[in-house]
Amino acid sequence: MDKTKRKVTIVGTGNVACHLFKVLSSVKSREEWETVIVNSRTLEGLPELSDLILISVKDDAIPEVALRLIGKGKTVAHTSGSVSIDVLKGIAKEYGVFYPLQTFSKKRELNYKEIPFFIEGNDEQAFKTLRELASEISAEVFEADSQIRKKLHIAAVFACNFSNHLVSIADDLLHEEELDYKVLLPLLKETIGKLDSLPPREAQTGPAVRDDESVMTIHKEMLRERPELQTIYQLLSDSIRNLK
Amino acid sequence: MDKTKRKVTIVGTGNVACHLFKVLSSVKSREEWETVIVNSRTLEGLPELSDLILISVKDDAIPEVALRLIGKGKTVAHTSGSVSIDVLKGIAKEYGVFYPLQTFSKKRELNYKEIPFFIEGNDEQAFKTLRELASEISAEVFEADSQIRKKLHIAAVFACNFSNHLVSIADDLLHEEELDYKVLLPLLKETIGKLDSLPPREAQTGPAVRDDESVMTIHKEMLRERPELQTIYQLLSDSIRNLK
């Protein structure tokens, strides 16, 4: 049987779109899938009919871009963590969500095999198509409805967005001594590295978890001219003690 | 000239003590330094006179252990981030602090070369001795008085202890969907990995930094039965917006 390649079209030119294009153009999936990428504004180069269209644009732009793709894909999916699958109703018979839980930046090399992909389909066929493609990229492919994706998103806000902000705060404090956050990087990497083998609750260290009142008093005194940081310090220390 | 090895004695059997013993027994410094480790309670095997004694015990125990080491070391130092150098006054003519900014766990391999060491000496000779030893282990050796060490410690609490706790919170939230924090690990590693090349303020992503009110409202609604988490969410989101 002469095997025809399936056609995947990525719509978008942001970091997620570019990373997906790069990995799909390089993995062995090339034998089965042929990948093109088009600008969401011009749609220049859009194939007459794709087997799968992945819409990878800003959340707010998804409905408008989707409307211009009616009839252009057998399956159409978006790549957003926080947008419902229903936004694609009526765009294609098969539709769904293809959500990689990762932060994508230009110039960063990633180990795609480890990135968890969360897949949702409006029916079994859509789900199967999306899972097949995700499995070409990653070893970690899960089914996840919109409820689960919402939970993943808020968890990522706590674990990643807020943690990054805490490093900004540390950076500010260190600048007062002409140091910066870079001295903390080996410690930060090891803090995360430990979590491969130890759950965060067991990995918790620091004055709050060992109820070291004298150190916490010194720290709050050091922050007396930064009431906002003092409040964050108190609240997170209390929260650590409540979790014990 | 016949070169005699200098003798380093590590007092303590905790994670920091064991890691220091391991690295000092393995690096090329063996040609210049001879390392022994003794239990802080029994002091069994303590040499009559060491060139350098490193006291690596719990903060509270340092004064008591130090008192039993009077006259036993040409230079005596402790390895704590938050204890003043003055606690060692009178223990030896030369004394100081030898502080590695890292979290040490059993069974974890570390790249010692990258670990920043912060050194303080009561005089030039103590500082020189401690800096020489630190330089055998690491490429990142800095002078730091007690003021700077205190700042490093509070910065590490924000960046590492509190971040670990935020991963515990994320873990809790994910358990409601029968997932756990491990799905976040590639994202967490990349969040920290990015900081090699991008300062945290520029690396900040998420709903707060892009003023995405609709997502933040959904998230706070999701946390309505967890008022403590709702407060943390609000406070850190406000703090991200204030830093913009």
Min distance B82 CA to chain A CA atoms (Å): 8
Contact criterion met (CB below 8 Å) for B115 and B137: yes
Q: Tell me, what's the ipTM? A: 0.91
Q: How far is CA A210 from CA A216, A230, A238, B158, B228, in A?
A: 11, 19, 12, 16, 21
B204·A140 Cβ contact <8 A: no
- Model confidence pLDDT, tens digit, residues B128-166: 999 999 999 999 999 999 899 999 999 999 999 999 999
Instruction: Find, in chain B, the residue whose alpha carbon is nearest to that of A193.
Output: B189
A78: helix, strand or coil = strand
A192·B196 Cβ contact <8 A: no
pLDDT band (50, 70, 90) for residue A32? confident
B115·A150 Cβ contact <8 A: no
Residue B108: its chain A contacts at CB < 8 A?
190, 193-194
Classify residue A146 by burial, with Cβ atoms within 10 Å: 0-12, 13-18, 19+. Answer: middle
B159·A181 Cβ contact <8 A: yes
Among candidates B144, B59, B154, which has minimal Cα distance to A222?
B154
Nearest CB partner across the interface for B194, out of A82, A105, A196: A105
Nearest CB partner across the interface for A184, out of B159, B176, B201: B159
Q: Which residues pair with A181 in a beta bridge?
A: none
Q: What percent of chain A has pLDDT over 90?
A: 86
Nearest CB partner across the interface for A185, out of B196, B206, B208: B196
Rounded to the nearest angstrom, the gap between the alpha carbon of residue B148 and the centroid of all alpha carbons in its chain is 14
User: Residue holding tokens 């947008």?
Assistant: A83
B152·A179 Cβ contact <8 A: yes
Segment holding B192, helix H or strand E: helix B185-193
B236·A162 Cβ contact <8 A: yes
Residue B209: its chain A contacts at CB < 8 A?
161
Contact criterion met (CB below 8 Å) for B77 and B57: no
Q: Which residues pair with A230 in a beta bridge?
A: none
- Model confidence pLDDT, tens digit, residues B73-127: 999 999 999 899 999 999 999 999 999 999 988 888 899 999 999 999 999 999 9
DSSP for B74-112, written as a single string: EEEEE--SSS-GGGGBTTBSEEEEEEE-S---TT----G
Full strand arrangement of the beta sheet holding A94-100: A33-38, A6-11, A50-55, A73-78, A94-100, A117-121, A141-143
A187·B110 Cβ contact <8 A: no
Residue B115: its chain A contacts at CB < 8 A?
186
- Model confidence pLDDT, tens digit, residues B208-218: 998 989 899 99
B105·A194 Cβ contact <8 A: yes
Residue B182: its chain A contacts at CB < 8 A?
195
Helix and strand numbers, DSSP H then E, in chain B: 9, 7
Q: Which pLDDT does position A45 carry in this prediction? A: 95
pTM assigned to the model = 0.91
Q: Which pLDDT does position B1 carry in this prediction? A: 40
Q: Which pLDDT does position B3 carry in this prediction? A: 64
Rounded to the nearest angstrom, the gap between the alpha carbon of residue A43 and the centroid of all alpha carbons in its chain is 25
**How many Cα atoms occupy the beta-carbon half-sphere of B206 within 13 Å?**
32
Interatomic CA distance for residues B30 and B128, integer angstroms: 18
**How many Cα atoms occupy the beta-carbon half-sphere of A53 within 13 Å?**
32
User: Residue holding tokens 């922050």?
Assistant: A223
Backbone angles phi, psi at B121, to 5 degrees: -130, 150
Q: Is the pLDDT of residue A1 over 70?
A: no
Q: What percent of chain B has pLDDT over 70?
A: 98
pLDDT band (50, 70, 90) for residue B21? very high
Q: Which pLDDT does position A220 carry in this prediction? A: 97
Q: What percent of chain A has pLDDT over 70?
A: 98
A102·B187 Cβ contact <8 A: yes
Q: What percent of chain B has pLDDT over 90?
A: 86
The gap between the terminal CA atoms of chain B, to the nearest Å, is 62
Q: How far is CA B104 from CA A186, B46, B115, in A?
A: 11, 24, 11
Segment holding A120, helix H or strand E: strand A117-121
Q: How far is CA B150 from CA A170, A219, A223, in A?
A: 12, 8, 12
B41: helix, strand or coil = coil
pLDDT band (50, 70, 90) for residue A2? very low
Chain A, chain B: beta-carbon pairs less than 8 Å apart: 288
Among A59, A152, A167, most B C-beta atoms within 10 A, so best to mutate, is: A167
Interatomic CA distance for residues B191 and B111, integer angstroms: 20
Among candidates A81, A214, A151, A168, which has minimal Cα distance to B163?
A168
